[in-house]
Amino acid sequence: MPRFNRGLVVLASALSVAALTLTACSEPTAESEVVTESGQTFDLSPEQSTRVHADKVDEIAAKVPQAIRDSGVLTIAGTSGTAPPLRFYATDDTTVVGSEVDFGILVADILGLKPEITVADWAQNFVKIDSGENDVFISNVTVTEERKDKYDFATYRLDNLAFETQKDTDWVVNGRQDIAGKKIGVGSGTNQEQLLVEWNEANIADGLAPAEIAYYQNTSDYYLALSSGRIDGYVGPNPSAVYHAATSGDSKIIGTVSGAGDALQGEIAVTTKKDNGLIVAIQEAINHAIENGDYQKVIDRWGLKDEVVTESVVNPQGLPRKAG
């Protein structure tokens, strides 16, 4: 099967990362760097001079399907970059950087392939995996039982969600009852949305008021809604909430939960087309990085200590299927 001619795809950022540096809790040491009150440093530069790299491992690289080996390229799909520290635009508003990019490049290094970072909206990335235009989707993708019908997964991070709200609120989220009657922002088509819907259904069954769900596509939009009080809170990936709360100075995290809710611990994984022969090489590359310490370096670089896994697993139990 011929491979596509694929180049680097970048889109204009809806949110200038440089603007984030101006609102950090402490003064950045340079225009392209943010240092939080806790001492965590985030490199926002396009150069990414401290990015973690690895040597090729021949025995793992040999397990990559022949067509991809012949191309010498690993194309890495991901969403448009407005959600530090996971995937976002650097200070040039063009180069996509972040932890998800770093994990992809680390895997490509171990497989002896040149990484090509592409950008599309959430749904379109799955289409690109379906068509073979992209080899892997690495952009905070949660393993679900429904997605396992079409895709293979190799885990590399825990899926933890955070509820974020204005700093002066006394609202706390310990469970589903605490969202009753609130207006909560969420990204459409995400497992965060599925969690809110399920919590609403359970609350209604218990006679509680449902939360009003407000949908947003861009990070800048939901944070503007949060700061202006048009929503009570937002639920999204814990790393992005931690970053925003630490750098904005006007929000805080009021509760965290597994991406699977109370059912199980959700997991984030590299996503490939099902049965295309690539996932074992991906899993072994991740486990190699875990064993030699390169994985931990990426974790530390982006402040992801709460999302660490000790082993990459292929196709673990995912979020349950939607009812109906």
Sequence spans of domains, the chain: 36-159+266-302, 160-258
- Structural tokens at position 50: 């401290």
**How many other CB atoms sit within 10 Å of the CB of residue 112?**
17
More confident residue, 4 or 157: 157
pLDDT, mean of residues 109-129: 96
Residue 11 reports pLDDT greater than 70: no
The residue that leads in pLDDT, 310 or 12, is 310
Identify the helix (H) or strand (E) that includes residue 185.
Answer: strand 183-187
Provide, rounded to the nearest whole percent, the portion of the chain with pLDDT above 70.
89
pLDDT of 131 > 50? The answer is yes
pLDDT tens digits along 17-46: 333 333 334 343 446 888 887 788 999 999
pLDDT band at 217 (very low <50, low <70, confident <90, very high): confident
State pLDDT tens for residues 138-192.
Answer: 999 999 999 999 999 999 999 999 999 999 999 999 999 999 999 999 988 888 8
Between 284 and 11, residue with greater pLDDT: 284
pLDDT bracket for residue 81 (50, 70, 90): low
User: Apex CA 288: angle with CA 284 and CA 292, to 5°?
Assistant: 175
Residue 123 pLDDT exceeds 50: yes
Domains 36-159+266-302 and 160-258 belong to one CATH topology: yes
With CA atoms as reference, report the closest residue to 158 among 284, 51, 264, 41. Answer: 264
pLDDT given at position 35: 85
With a cut of 60, say whether residue 266 has pLDDT above it.
yes
Percent share of the chain, pLDDT over 90: 73
Q: What pLDDT is attached to residue 80?
A: 73
CB neighbour class for 193 (10 Å; exposed up to 12, middle 13-18, buried from 19): middle
Query: From CA 223, how far away is CA 248, in angstroms rounded?
Result: 10
Q: Which CATH number fits domain 160-258: 3.40.190.10, 3.40.50.2000, 3.40.640.10, 3.30.1360.120?
A: 3.40.190.10
Distance of CA 277 to the CA centre of its chain: 24
* Per-residue pLDDT at 315: 98
pLDDT at residue 77, as a whole number = 97
Query: Under a CB-based contact definition with an 8 Å cutoff, are residues 117 and 101 in contact?
Result: yes
pLDDT of residue 324: 52
Looking at residue 232, its pLDDT comes to: 97
Going along 80-182, which residue ranges are E strands? Answer: 82-83, 87-89, 96-97, 114-117, 136-137, 151-166
Q: Please tell me the CATH code under which domain 36-159+266-302 is placed.
A: 3.40.190.10
pLDDT in the model for residue 19: 36
Average pLDDT, whole number, for the chain? Answer: 88
Is pLDDT above 50 for 234? yes
Decide if pLDDT at 101 tops 70: yes
Indicate whether 3 pLDDT > 60: no
Q: Is the pLDDT of residue 15 over 90?
A: no
Does residue 124 register a pLDDT over 70? yes
pLDDT tens string 189-211: 888 898 999 999 999 999 999 99
Closest C-alpha to 41, from 302, 305, 308, 307: 302
Confidence at 86, pLDDT banded by 50, 70, 90: very high
pLDDT reported for residue 220: 81
